[in-house]
Amino acid sequence: CAELAASANALYGSTEKDASIKNHTFEKDGATFIGWSLNRHELVDSQDKYEKIKPELVEQVTPSNKTRTLTGNDVYAVWAVDENRNNIPDYEEWVHLSYEANGGKANTMPSDLNNYFAGTNAALVQHGNMSHEVADGKPVVFLGWTLQPADHIYEREETAPAIIPSVTFGSEDMTVYAAWGYDADRNGKADVLKDYTLTYDLNGGSGTVPAQDSYKAGARVHIVHPEDLAKGKAVFAGWSTEPIEQILKVDPDIAMLRKILATDEYTMPAANVTLYAVWAEDLDGNTLPDYAENAVHIQYHSNNEKDEQTVLCPHHHIIHTKAVLSSNAQYLYGRTAQDNEIKNHSFKKDKAVFVGWSKEKLDDIRTQTQYAQISGSLLGSEITLGENNDVYAVWAVDENENGVADYREGVQLSYDANAQSGTVSGMPKNVENGIPGDKITLTGSPEHDPVDGKAVLF
């Protein structure tokens, strides 16, 4: 037997046109050499074709006396498509895209027979006949494609999944999954994707009307409070989801007061909403509704020694009832001691993030242990109103300023004595609040008890 050349790039011999013996190279545009065969083969452009001709590939031949134009035995180079010219057959690199029905009708899913290289981007089919059986008596419509399968059909009140318009391939095949949502009103659009409008009505007043905007059901909306609202001698008292036509006097009905939104955040329902301005008498001209002169108010403190701020919330509350606290320190509507004008304020603290409110000043949280110790002092989303309703911002250290409290991403460095026998003294304390990327100097000079009468050194 004779061994064949391992490649087509170094072939030593002569040709029909040149009898001198020297090196030759076989090349084929857009293709790479994959072996020799005793038969001619077309360009290999798929794994299937390669598997079919693979048994015919040879690495050695038995010379014969068969006479050719040149004395020798004929073998033929076999070539495979190599469009990206990296000397690897494309069929070894190609990756493919699959569409998964994920509960829908499999026969309505698109198919993609294309071959893709790693790093290429493919747009996903967004419009077609993708369909799902009726579920719970309601039509189900296609939302789009996701990289992870959802285990349910999306309801109106949920947050819609992250829909992707395209994929970028890595080195493996990819599958995208159909996401589905109910269409209760049968208008062809999933309920979870529908937007609802929030509109402001000055209810007979004048000033800047906040712009109408659209939100998904469940969205938390920051209510706008323009500073130039007026209605004769009445003052603006807040917003209500129901129109209150009369100007509120000094002793209004409690049920009427409860219609006024008592927080600056509003959770959008699955419906269009109009907020109506509420007006109240201010006979003493102090810019406060007369009915609120004896009301209780929440006072927010920044708990920031470098830039201490206090904001008095203008919402009027009844003592011994519950009130919703602002969910963050970025949107605090009210007045300060330095500025009587009611407007939005924001509390900030250098290298710290807001984690909640407390009835007392607390030190900044640095470790998970500290958080566990003070977590019982955090007020949550509501406060039961008393005579004094001061609340203080609680902060957690955020040295790397990534918006995440260090105690939530911190890592611990622990020292282990690794005692062989007896005890070890002088162990350093564990480091509880390390942040990924920190450099920590190792400390301590531990001492080990003697073992078998011999000193054991660190």
Residue 134 is predicted with a pLDDT of 95
pTM, full prediction: 0.42
- Tell which residue, 205, 142, 145, 150, has the closest CA to residue 176: 145
Q: What is the pLDDT of residue 26?
A: 87
DSSP helix, strand, coil percent of the chain (3-state; round to 5): 10, 30, 60
What pLDDT, on a 0 to 100 scale, did the predictor assign at position 276?
Answer: 97
Listed in sequence order, the residues at least 6 apart from 62 whose beta carbon sits closer than 8 Å to its beta carbon are: 1, 2
What is the band of 241 on the pLDDT scale with cuts at 50, 70, 90? very high
Q: What pLDDT was estimated at residue 141?
A: 95
Report the alpha-carbon distance of residue 235 to residue 335 in Å, rounded: 15
Split at pLDDT 50, 70, 90, the class of 436 is low
- The Cα 71–Cα 58 span in angstroms is 20
Give the model's pLDDT for residue 117: 86
Inform me whether the pLDDT recorded for 67 exceeds 70.
Answer: no
Higher pLDDT, 316 or 271: 271
Q: What is the pLDDT of residues 361-376, one digit of tens each?
A: 999 998 888 888 998 8
Q: Which one of 12-16, 37-41, 272-276, 451-455 scores highest in mean pLDDT? A: 272-276
How large is the average pLDDT for residues 55-59?
87
CA-to-CA distance for 222 and 200, rounded, in angstroms?
A: 13
Q: What is the mean pLDDT of residues 316-330?
A: 81
- Residue 148 pLDDT greater than 90, yes or no: yes
How far, in Å, CA of 28 to CA of 9, rounded?
11
Strands (DSSP E) contained in 111-207 are 121-123, 140-146, 166-168, 174-182, 195-201
| Reported confidence tier of residue 413, pLDDT bands at 50, 70, 90 | confident
**387, two tokens:** 């005579």
Angle at 192 between CA 191 and CA 196, to 5 degrees: 80
Q: Which residues contact 17 (CB under 8 A, 6 or more apart)?
A: none
135-139, 309-313, 326-330, 454-458: least confidently modelled range: 326-330
Could you give the CA distance from residue 130 to residue 133 in angstroms, rounded to a whole number?
11
Write out pLDDT tens, residues 24-41. Answer: 788 888 899 988 898 999
The answer on pLDDT for 355 being more than 90 is yes
- Tokens found for residue 19: 């009898």
User: Which of 387, 228, 216, 373 is CA-nearest to residue 299?
Assistant: 387
CB 390 within 8 A of CB 303: no
Per the document, the length of the chain is 458
Greater confidence, 1 or 224?
Answer: 224
Cα gap 316→339, rounded to integer Å: 19
pLDDT at residue 65 greater than cutoff 70: no
